[in-house]
Every structure is written in structure tokens, then in C-alpha cells.
Structure 1
Amino acid sequence: MDRKQLLWLLLTLLLFLLVVPRFFGDRRPPQPEPTPQIPETTGWGYGGMRLSPEQIAADKVPAYTLGSVDPQSPYRFQLTLDPRGASVRYARLAGYYYTVQQKRTENKTPEQLEEWSYAVLSPVAGADGQAVLPFSTSDLLVAEEAGGPLQRIDTRMSPKYRLQGADDNGELFHFGWEPTELPEAEDGVQRTRFRLNLYDPATDTLAYTLIKTYEVRPGSYSFRMTVEVENHSGAARDLAIIQNGPTGIPLEDVRGDQREVIVANYMAGKGEVSLPKNGKTLRTKSLTAAQRQPLGTNAPDGDPVVWAGIANKFFASLMYPIPDGIDPTNLQAAVTPADLVVPPAQTTYDFHTQMVGTGEGAAQLVLVQTRPQTVAPSPAEGAAEPATQATQGASSTSLKFSYDVFVGPKDGEVLEAAPLHAMLNYGTAITFQSCQWCLVDPLARGVMWLIAAGGSLLHNYGLMIILLVLVIRLALHPITKRSQVSMLKMRKLQPQMQAIQEKYKDDKEGQQKAMMDFMRQTGFSPFLGCLPMLLQMPIWIALWAGLNASVALRHEGLLPFWITNLAGPDTVLHLAEPFTIPLLGRMMGPVTGLNLLPLLLAVFMFLQQKLMPMQAGPAGASKEQEQQQKIMMYFMSIFMLLIFYNAPSGLTLYIMASTAYGVVESAVIRKHIREREEQEAAAEVRVTAPGKRPRGTRPKKPRDRYRP
């Protein structure tokens, strides 16, 4: 290896160190900044549940559940509802757990199921000390006059406002919406309704009523949420709502924060819903400004935003505002994606996102702010009750919005199992982060499908990965063999090539022409040495992306006692105090224990480098070149150890198995070449002229020592 090659190697390493962090993101989410506040009204009274500060501090706020976390039940998840803002405290998935040990525990108690089931949604500790709850209806915006300025009424848990009928001493209470558990329907649909009354402080009369309903269906990974505001003020008002969406999704990778905000638009030209080409997702590190950022645009000449949500590597929560006239549970055959989209000119909502929480507990929040709509007053008591269905762009006695919310794994079949979700193209929520190239995306999805199908058939996903290695390496064996033969030939021809370089060292054009003539005469092609690597590069990148995003590998293993989670490192010994290697922490994450698989990968990588023909040292190589070759062998082994130390063991297993196969394959090919050369040497036929036999085969006559 000359200096020029070494320089290129160092530049490649530097580029790799700059690019790799894009796969893993920043481990520390940015700190939020204050969000501009809408002017706030004062003195409003509330009619709802009284929650004492002691209840809040002890986390004993009443909870109401829909669905179940029991894998044997017909429900796919359980919603734990909170009266504060009529929010979702937790959304726990049935059959998904935090650790392998929890998954393997048999006969789990109800308490264990509740505690261990994976929560896609959870509260986030806000910067002001109050919890930011998923799907909390946080604010009601009121304009006293049509087109006038909006005033904000906080509908969350807050000590700032007096409850209706509070004590004369002005004691402040926390409050929650009043719940009503509705009877379960015959088809198993469960519902809970919350209500909050807002009173005019001047007249002490009912001004507005907020009604919020949650609905969970058996066999579905989505729930329905409906928010309605009734106007009892006696006059028409412009009303709007700020509705929190999903937040609090956990981290799933020790190497960095791979959580992201996903937004999908309706592409009128294609007639489909999909992620935009530019800025497909917003990673945590992209949300540097914690002020609310718009997600896409609903401008009349733009592609309208259809749904948005948050996701980590394996799970997602997606929020879709349902247009009037669409029943997600009973889509008609004639419905097209265009029917599921509100035209930009009629859109009544805008998606936003912002960071909430501080430090390691910071997380993304997706929220929806509706545009002001004029709402007519409800008739006085005793009058005929009007219809409550809101019509976009028209005045009615209530403001009503419905949402379909998906909470579940990022599995292609699950994401598009429901006809609505398939038409909304929820499968695009499976993103490959920095690997979203035109060729890699279909290859990575193919890898995910193949591993999921083969793993379920073999009942061992680790074995399926090893089988995949064998199939790919056997398919590439002819090319690999030709490559190694070419590299061995190059090694033998190295002295002659060096002689040509020395002869034409002052004539670059002559050197190039002489080298091409020499290669043509000898039948040598240096391209063959690079061909296997070039062919495997797209496959490797697709495997990197697919194995890194495959939820099928989560908590699936190779052996009962080792590599028990193919989606995480194979830690065999945990450290009491994790540590981070300087300059490499962002790329490889913290060292939390002894991971055996990356060490084996480094060993096999060293052996493979040692057996490669070019690594054996070119004929006539100097001691300096041989020393550089040895340094490169150690360098590549250590480099692979650091890169894959905290990588998912499924990905490391594939590369280690492929490298081990390469070691055996290289040894077999070298042995085959050596045997063939020996056979060719033994089969050589010596041609002699007629007459006397050659002296080498004819015995000499004894010389007469006495002959003169």
C-alpha cells in the first residue's frame, strides 16, 4: 500500500465518521424554547372533577381503560385515559414487552401485564413541571366577534382558574373532565366519553361544553377520537381548538435517538398519499427550535397534509383527521384516496410539531390546531335539539372533529391491514432514515419481508439470517472465485508491473499505454478484484437498513442463552457503570457491557484480511509495504469492532457469518488454485529430439582411469 492509497483510506474513514451519525441521530434531544402564547382569558369557571394536589403528586389521578393488554383478548392494545385534558395517559400494546425476560415469563399476572406491556404513548415531563399528556385537548380559542382576535382558555389541569362553586377563600383545585363510561356494544366496541363545562364569569352561566369520546374496536390497532365544542353563550362565536397528538414514544436504540416525526401529503399528480421526497421525516435533532413548527402546508396550490405522527425504529402512532362523510370502519368500494383528503381550500386544521420536556426526557409532540369557525349558539332549554354534526365552512351549533389514531408496530402487514390504512399508505411509515435511496428502499423492504416470512417458517430468525448468508454467498461464489484468482494473478505479475512503472516513471501516458498492453497480453483485469464488493454493496446497505428497521427481529433470538434479541446488542456481561469512548460516543453509543458478537466479527475480519491474496503481500514487496499491510489488517478489525459494537445483533450476525464464510471460502479457493497449479506442473511433457537420449536419462560410461 503506497502513500496515496493510505491517504484515500484516511479520507474515506473521515467521511464515514461524518456520515454514520446520520443513521443514529443525536443522543441528546435539544432543549425546548418558550412557545409564543395566545392571549389568555381570566376568571373562567370550570365544571368538572376536582383533583386535589395530593392526588396529582401521588399519581393517583383516576384512570379509565379501554381495550386490554392480554394477548388472549380480542383487543390489540389498551388505552389508559386520564381526565386531565381528557387525554391518553398510556397506549400499551398486547404481546409486546420491554425486555426479552418479560416476554418469556409465563403466566403473567394482570399487574405484570400492565407494567411490562410496551407503551407507545406516555406522559412527558414538561419544562414547567406539569405533565404533557398525549391527545390532551389543551386549549379552546374564542373570538367574541367574528374575525376578532382569539383568546386562549386552558382546558388542561391547571391551578390558574377557579372552579365553578369553589370555596369563598379562593382555594385553587386541579380539575379534570367528567368521564362517562358508555356500555360496550354488541360488536365489542368500547367507548368512554368526557365532558367539561365552561362558565361565563360575568353571568355565572354555561358558555361552552367540550365533549370528547374515545372508541376502541377489537382486532384493530387504531382508536377513534372525537372532539366536540357546543356553544351555549347565546351569540355566534369564532371557535378553534388546539389538540395535542401523539408524544412520549420511547427510545429503541442505545446508539442514538432515532425517533422522528412523520408527515404524509396527498400527491394529486400521482393520486396517492405518500411521504414527500424532500424532508420525509423530522429527526429529533432537526427540531432545534422548540417553537411550534408547521408540518407541511395546506396552501391552495400545495399538496395537503393528510396524516402525521411520531415513530421510533419499531413502533409508531399516526393521527389522521377524518373528513365528513367518511366512515373508516365501513369504506365503500368506490372510495379513492382523493375522497379521504379534504381539499386545501376547505381545510380546517393545520399540523404542527414541537419539542416538549427537558434533557434526556425530551420528546417530540405532534399537535393539531383547527382554524377558526363560526359556531351558532345552541337553542335555549326546551327548544328542539339541533343536529350536532359540524359542516366545514358553515355555521352550526357545535364544532366537531374526528380522528383515527394508529398505535402499533411498524410491520408492513399491520400498518396496511385495515382498508383505510392501506389507502392512506401507512406502510411508508417504515423509513430507513439515511438509507432512503431509490434502489435501497425496495431491496430493504424485500429483506424485511424475506426475514419475517422465513423466520416464522423456521421459528428461528437467527437461523434465517444465517441461511440468507449462505444463499447470497453461494450465488456470488463464481464471481468471488474469479476475483480471488485475478488478485493472485496480480500478485504474481506485480514485479513486471513495477518494472513498467519504473521504466515509464517520467512518461504517464506511455506508462498507461504500456500497462494496458501488458494487461491485454496477460489477460489480467483489475476490475474483477472489485466486482464482488461492488455487487454486494447495495445488498449490504439494504441489509443494514432492513435488519435495522425490522420489528420482526425484536426479542427474537438465535439461541436460548445467547443472542436472545436480534434487534439489540448481545450483551453477555453488564457493567455497573456504562462509559462512552471519547470522539466515538455519538457513533457507537455508550459501552454498557461485554458484547461477544462484535469481538467474533473482528476476529473473523482479521482472518479474512490475512487470507486475502493482496493482504499476503505482493511478490517483491518491501518491508515497509508489508508493515503497512499488517497495520491495515489490525486497523480494519478494530474499526469493525467499534462500528458494530452496539449494532443490532441480527445485523452483526449477518456480517460475522458472511465474513466467516468468506474465510472458509478463501481457504478453499486458495487450496483449489494450489492443487491445480501442482497438477499442471506434474502434467508438463518434455519434448526431445530424435537420436540419443538426453544425458539426464542416459547413464554415463565408466571412465577408464588407466587410459592415456
Structure 2
Amino acid sequence: MERRLLVWFISSSLFLAIYILLNSLFAPPPAPQPVADGPAGVVEPAEADPVAEQDDDARPPIAADADPADAPEEQPRPDRPSLITLGSMDPQSGFFLLATLNSRGGAIERLELTERNAEGKLRYRRVDTTSGYLGYLAGKTSPDRDGCIVGVVGPGTPAALAVPDETSQGPGLRVGDRIIAIGGRAITSSRELNERLAQSRPGQSVSLEVVRPDREGPPLILTAVLSEHPLDLIRLSSTGGADEVLGNLDRLSCRVTLSQLGDRNLPTGTTSIEGLEWIGEAIYDHEVKAAESVDQEVVFSLPLSQRQLGSAATGPVKITRSFAITPGSYLIDMDVQVENEGEQPQRLAYRLEGPNGITLEGWWYSTKISPNMLGGAAARDVVYNTVRDRHRLLSGYDLLKRAKNQPRDPDPTIFGEDEAEQNRSLRYAAVDAQYFVVALLPPEGTEYFTDFRRSAATVVADPREIPIHQERAVNVSFFVDSLVSEVQPGGSIRESLRLFAGPKDPDMLASLGLSDAIEYGWFGRVSRFLGWILHWINWGIGNYGLAIILLTCLVRFCLFPISRNAAVNAQRMQELAPELKKIAEKYKDDMEARLKAQREFQKRVGFNPLAGCLPALLQLPIFIGLYRCLSVDLELRQEPFFSNQAWASNLAGPDMLYYWGDWLWDYLAGRGTGWLGPYFNILPVFVVALFLVQQKLFMPPPTDEQTAMTQKIMTIMTLMMAIFFFRVPAGLCIYFITSSLWGIAERLIVKRTLPPPKPIAAFPAGDAGGVVDGKVTSTRTAGKKSLTERIREQVKPEPPKALPPNKRKRPTNKR
């Protein structure tokens, strides 16, 4: 029977592997890509900012039901979008953020974290790339000439600090410059520029040949010193790099549109009122306010005439919004105002969209814990806190599933306008990632938002285009709708908000009321306590890799008495195994008698089989707590094992010894679709090797064929564990390696210090309880069949006994 089980197990595994191979080799062609409901298309490898590359000559349309003669002449409007930066990457500026905003839509296009540590290095850099960083340029390929046209230059970036060969020109690239060569090699497009930069390294000096529009003569030569990539916490999906997946849409974050205009409102499942879709892409006027030579605030304004709004409007409306940041803070102050500039009252309300395009770093290997009992967390989830629901998480998996199954109503409601006012009190709404969160918060001094009538979560993606096995990377967001107000002429609706975009630092989140965004799962207090010890050890030695080793040793040392007791119990179990086997063989047809005999035997020799289970249960909270601590702790991110070398440079991710994603099959090396991932990792190999060594050293020799088969299956299962451990973060691998080495050494030491085997006492004759000379007699009622016998009779009933001739009946067809 055991051999058939092993053959079935191996055959099933082989069949599954062949099925996956054939499915990847002969996959069906993708369906035609539908038109997306959003300001940009489905993500494909892009050369530049898709939002900025839209038709520059576009004008807001005139509503079909409007009468041009009834409206006054409109004021001239800007016809070209602009990119505006707030904050700086300069270490001396003290800013923690560098924001890039787009006047087309008046919203956030990109947000980078620029805080520095004590050594002057970026505290939060990108961990998915080791190339050099020139800066976010929003480059566009020149339509009639070779080169890349610069769209924006962030203050303090290497591009802004590039030194020209002509001192009269001043430092840095400028908007409108056309880069035609880098490192002495010509480029023809922005894509080619990005490819050249991908081959560079931080600290490397590169020369840029630039054609400046207002300058004649030969190209200008600038020399830039590349830096590390700051973490782009918010970005367009098309600029997300290798971790981005097909199907996610490009959309600016925190856009504003009208959700109520007169008697017209925004239908369920849509992003704008019918006929007013262009508001989300309209070009705003903007005014920038600077302090100490750094732009810190921008005010966007969008006047909407009655002719543009249509017959539902009784007059013009103006949308005004502002963004402001301050040094040393991860908060962005936002104001939204909708003003009635007409001469009659108007029913107005607005919709404020949340952030989207949050970083996807490590989504294919990270372990994110969900507070929900059923269902797991995706790489990006929506979290919120209301008076009614408290802290809740809406998984990206569930949002994508609903968008597929209910396309007419794809957005699950956080709260609705028909609910009580108390239930609509919103403390925060956020998009949550593994180590970072972007949250919409009420203004300082206010605990809850009370001016929103509706809120819901949504996917910023085409659900039909998200590849299978990559659903975890779906782009998600949320929105809030303001209360509908009867706005008098000259009056307005106004709301002040804060946007937190930063790391999941426990102290920082606690000060903002976001502590629940850090989820440890079970035994959270144990995890926090062990995390505190880990940070204390690192403070003393300055290396988190060694700190994990010392913490693991400390935990195993404290558990040594329990482990030794378990080892003593295991040895005693091995000594008693032959006798227990004899009892099992003797009473193999009588389960009740067998259990009674085993209990009597264990009681006589003084052995308690549960004594080995209790220590294991006591250790469980500690081991789970330590595992969760290493999985969630922000401080392990971008911390190297030895130094800042490429191997094991991020303890929160795999060690990434060698990149094989270019030549290995996608079903093995794909991000999310592969069993192993795009990198060969050596630490998981050591982990599984040590597991096998432990089995070989401490597993008792088989006493029969069944035990031997069980041990072989355990070995196969351990080898299969290598697949699941292959993408485990390096910090966890260090923990497993240290724990395994400690366990091997502990067992060897304990084996030498164990007490000598106890002799098995003989059974005295005539012992009460039905056990005589080591034999057990069943005490069940005579004639009553055991459970085993009754089951056997049901499976294989005995044929009826033949009747004697004098008892048989004559057949009816015979006389």
C-alpha cells in the first residue's frame, strides 16, 4: 500500500510539472486589448511620460447641449501642460520628498523619497536596481531629430547638478534640452538613454551632449555624477520598471473631478459625469510659491465655463487645488475648492481620487500579512478606518475579482451616502504596500473626515488584461465623494486634507494614528518585543545580519531546557518503540485493546507521550513571532549582510546571487509566474541542505518497511520545500541557517549528556487491569464486536451460511 502511495505521489508531481511546461509553451494568444477607461492606456514599455505626451493642442470640448450664444467669451487658456516639482533631492535642503506634478489634471505624477541617513546616503532607495540615477526627466523622443527632450529636472538630482564645459551656461540640464549622446555614444530616443543609464553604476561620472534651444554652436557638454535611485513611492505604471505588470493603467494620483452638477451625478462604476470626462485631463493654470530657492507650494486652478459644462450648469464653476510640502516631513498639505462663479445657486459636489501606482518592489517574493481571517494580502491593498468598521483591509485580490465578475459595479463601497452620519466618519483611507503607505488624512487637530458622503475602493487597471499568477501586482486606489451642497453665487465647497507618503515607521505612524497599518498577525506582541531586541543588538554591533544570528542564538539558548526535555522524551520513545510495536502487532484487530495496552505499558515505565508535545507548543509563539518580526521589520530593508555589495544587499529580499531571468524559462524564472524567480539564490540551498543533514543525523534507523517508506517521503518533501524557500528573504534564510546549526549542535551535545537508558520493567503476573505477563486482554463485553470488526464487515461482508437440506425451500418453478 505504501509503495502505491509513493508511486502515486511521484506520478502526480511529474504530471503537474509536464502540464505546467506544456501550458507555458503552448499558451493561447492574448485577447485584443480593449480601450481603457482612464487618461492613459494599458502599460507597455514606454519611452516617456504618457500623460505629458498627450496632444498638446487639445482644448476642453464644448458640451453638446450648450448654446454658445448664451455664454460670455472665454479667457485664453494654456494649451501645453507643464511639469512642476516641489521639494528637493539636495541633502542640504532637508526635504524628505521630491514631488513631480502635472498641470494636465492638476495632480501628482511622481513622488520620490529623498531623506538621508547620518552618512548622507538615501535612507530609502530602490532595491530592485543597482544602476546609476540621473533623475526623472520625463523624456520624450524628438519627432524629427535624434535624441531625448528633457521634460522636467528635479532640484538636487544629478541632472540638476551636472557641470557644463561652458561656465556661462550655468549648472544642470534644463527643460527643453535635447540629449543627443551619453558617454560619447549617440542616442536616438529616450528609450536608448534609459538603456545606457541601466548599464551605469552609482558614483559614476557620465558626459552628456546637449543641444539647447536658445543656444547656437556645437552641442553643450555636461558632466553628471550619478547617484542611487531614490524610492519612487508613487509613479506612473509605465515607469515602474521590471516589476510592473501588463494591464495596470497610467493615471495621475489625487485627481479631482465633479461628482454632482445640478441634477446630474456621477454614475456607479464610472470615473466622471457623462460628457465631462475631459475634466480629468484638462490643463490647469498654476502658480508656484518658492522659499529659499526651492519650490514648496503650487496652486492649480481650472475655470469651467457654462458652455463647457452644458445645460446642467446655471453658471461657470472653478476648481482650485493646492499642494504644499515642508522640509523634514512626509506630509503633503492639500486643499480642494469648488467655487460657484455664476449668478444662481448650483448643486455641486466633487470626487477626490486617492493615490495609485504605489511601489511594487519585491511583490513576487515579499510576505505581506493580512488581518483578515480569510484571504491574503496583495502587494497593494486599500486600508481604511471608520467609526463603524475600525481598521479594515480590502485586498487587491478581492478588488480585482470583483472588477472581473461585476463590471457594472466594480467598486466595493467603504461607506455609502444612505448610511448614518456616524458611519461615514472616516479617519483615514490609504493604499498599503509592504513597507510603505500613502494615506489620506484629515487636517491636523481633526480626528475624522465628516464631509464625505461616499467612498469606495477601485482597481486602476483593465481587469481582463492582468496576467494570470500576477494578480498580486494589480494597481488599486480609492475615492471619496463630497456632500452635495447648494452653493450660492460666489460661494464654494472647500476641504483641507493631508497626504502622508512615507515608510511604515512605528513611531511615525503612531503619531498619525496609522499604527494598524503595520500588521504582524498572530503573536504580534512577541514579534514587537523580539524586534526591539533585534534593533538593540544592531545598535551595539552595527550589522543586522550578525544581529539576526545573535538574536536567533539568544532565543534558542533561552529555549534550551525545553529542547533538552524534548530530546530526552524522543530518546525514551525510541527505547520503547520495539515494545510498542509488539503490542500493536498483537492487537492489530482490536483497536480498543491496543490503546489500553499501550497506556498501561507507558504508565508502568513512567513515560508520558504528551511531554514532548507541550514544549513544542510553548516554542510555537516564539518561533512564529521571530519569523513575523523578520518579515515585517522595516529596518531590514536595504540592509546588507556583509557590505553594500550586490549579493545579499537587502535582508528583506532574496540574496540574488545570479540573474538568470534572461535565459531561463518563464515558468521557472518569471516574476510571479515562475516557481523560482528571476534570480538564483544560494542561501535557500544552504537551508534545505541543513534540513536534510538534520534528518540524516537524528532520524532513527527504520525498523520496518513502512517506517523506511515514511522516511523516504519525508526526504522528498524536504527537497520540495526548496521550491517554496527559494524566494525567502535573506534575513529569514540567515535565521533558518543559524537555527538549524544550533539545533544540530544542540542535539549532539544533548545526546552525550542524556541519562542512560532505563530498563523496561517486567509485568508482574496477575496484574489488575487485564494485563498479565505483558499481555493485555480486552475488557469489552463478550460478544460485542470492536469498531475495527464492524468496519471490516461493512467493507467485505461474509457470505451467508448454507442452510441444511431440510431447511431449504423448493423453487417455485419446480414441482
**Could you state the TM-score of these two structures normalised by the residue count of structure 2?**
0.63
What pairs with 1:525-604 in structure 2 (closer than 5 Å)? 525-560=608-643, 561=645, 562-575=647-660, 576-581=662-667, 589-604=675-690
Equivalent of residue 430 in structure 2, options 289, 295, 309: 309
In structure 2, the residue matched to 1:63 is 83
Partners of 2:696 and 2:354 in 1: how far apart? 55
Task: Letter of the 1:117 partner, please give it.
Answer: P
In structure 2, the residue matched to 1:293 is 412
Q: Spell out, residue by residue over 1:488-526, the C-alpha distance to the aligned partner (whole angstroms, 9 max, x if none).
A: 111111111111222332332222222112112212222
1:132 to 2:160 alignment: no
Partners of 1:252 and 1:93 in 2: how far apart? 14
In structure 2, the residue matched to 1:80 is 100
What pairs with 1:442-453 in structure 2 (closer than 5 Å)? 442-453=525-536
Task: Letter of the 2:652 partner, please give it.
Answer: A
Equivalent of residue 356 in structure 1, options 461, 480, 505: 461
In structure 2, the residue matched to 1:163 is none
Equivalent of residue 265 in structure 1, options 370, 385, 388: 385
Q: Spell out, residue by residue over 1:456-512, the C-alpha distance to the aligned partner (whole angstroms, 9 max, x if none).
A: 442111111111111111111111111111111111111111112223323322222
Matched position secondary structure for 1:598: helix
Task: Letter of the 2:384 partner, please give it.
Answer: A
Contact 1:230 1:399 survives alignment (8 Å): yes
Equivalent of residue 616 in structure 1, options 700, 710, 714: 700
Matched position secondary structure for 1:219: coil
**How far off its partner does 1:530 sit?**
3.0
What's the RMSD between the two structures over aligned residues?
4.2
1:407 to 2:514 alignment: no
Task: Letter of the 1:427 partner, please give it.
Answer: S
**Could you state the TM-score of these two structures normalised by the residue count of structure 1?**
0.72
In structure 2, the residue matched to 1:242 is 351
Matched position secondary structure for 2:434: coil
Partners of 1:659 and 1:349 in 2: how far apart? 53
In structure 2, the residue matched to 1:340 is 447
Equivalent of residue 197 in structure 1, options 303, 325, 332: 303
Matched position secondary structure for 2:86: strand
Partners of 1:631 and 1:223 in 2: how far apart? 57
**Aligned in 2, Cα 1:630/1:41: closer, same or farther, shift over 3 Å?**
same
**How far off its partner does 1:563 sit?**
2.2
**How far off its partner does 1:557 sit?**
1.8
Corresponding residue pairs, total: 575
Partners of 2:399 and 2:344 in 1: how far apart? 44
1:50 to 2:79 alignment: yes
Contact 2:669 2:677 survives alignment (8 Å): no
1:641 to 2:722 alignment: yes
By relative contact order (CA 8 Å, sep 6+), the higher-ranking structure is: 1
1:626 to 2:720 alignment: no
Partners of 2:749 and 2:711 in 1: how far apart? 22
Contact 1:146 1:374 survives alignment (8 Å): no
Identity of aligned residues (%): 25
Partners of 1:240 and 1:203 in 2: how far apart? 14
1:92 to 2:201 alignment: no
**Aligned in 2, Cα 1:124/1:459: closer, same or farther, shift over 3 Å?**
same
Contact 2:38 2:249 survives alignment (8 Å): no
Contact 1:63 1:82 survives alignment (8 Å): yes
**How far off its partner does 1:649 sit?**
1.0
Task: Letter of the 1:49 partner, please give it.
Answer: P
Partners of 1:538 and 1:296 in 2: how far apart? 37
Contact 2:82 2:104 survives alignment (8 Å): no
Which structure dedicates a bigger proportion of its chain to strand? 1
Partners of 1:583 and 1:4 in 2: how far apart? 33
**Aligned in 2, Cα 1:461/1:191: closer, same or farther, shift over 3 Å?**
same
**How far off its partner does 1:128 sit?**
11
Partners of 2:530 and 2:752 in 1: how far apart? 34
Contact 2:290 2:297 survives alignment (8 Å): yes
1:441 to 2:524 alignment: yes
Contact 1:46 1:199 survives alignment (8 Å): no
Equivalent of residue 468 in structure 1, options 548, 551, 563: 551
Structure 2: runs of 5+ lacking an equivalent: 14-29, 40-61, 69-73, 115-121, 133-200, 207-222, 240-245, 367-376, 404-409, 468-472, 760-815
Question: Quick check: 505-514 or 655-664, which moved more?
Answer: 505-514
Equivalent of residue 276 in structure 2, options 138, 146, 153: 153
Partners of 2:596 and 2:602 in 1: how far apart? 10
Equivalent of residue 518 in structure 2, options 419, 430, 441: 430
Question: Quick check: 470-479 or 99-108, which moved more?
Answer: 99-108
**How far off its partner does 1:152 sit?**
5.8
In structure 1, the residue matched to 2:234 is 121
Contact 1:309 1:316 survives alignment (8 Å): yes
**How far off its partner does 1:428 sit?**
0.8
**How far off its partner does 1:155 sit?**
5.2
Contact 1:189 1:217 survives alignment (8 Å): no
**Aligned in 2, Cα 1:502/1:128: closer, same or farther, shift over 3 Å?**
closer
Contact 2:260 2:266 survives alignment (8 Å): no
Equivalent of residue 488 in structure 2, options 376, 393, 405: 376
**How far off its partner does 1:376 sit?**
0.8
**Aligned in 2, Cα 1:115/1:476: closer, same or farther, shift over 3 Å?**
closer
Partners of 1:233 and 1:240 in 2: how far apart? 16
Equivalent of residue 652 in structure 1, options 733, 742, 756: 733
Matched position secondary structure for 1:85: coil
Structure 1: runs of 5+ lacking an equivalent: 14-27, 52-60, 159-174, 323-327, 332-338, 379-396, 682-708
In structure 2, the residue matched to 1:252 is 361
**Aligned in 2, Cα 1:202/1:528: closer, same or farther, shift over 3 Å?**
closer
Partners of 2:247 and 2:649 in 1: how far apart? 41
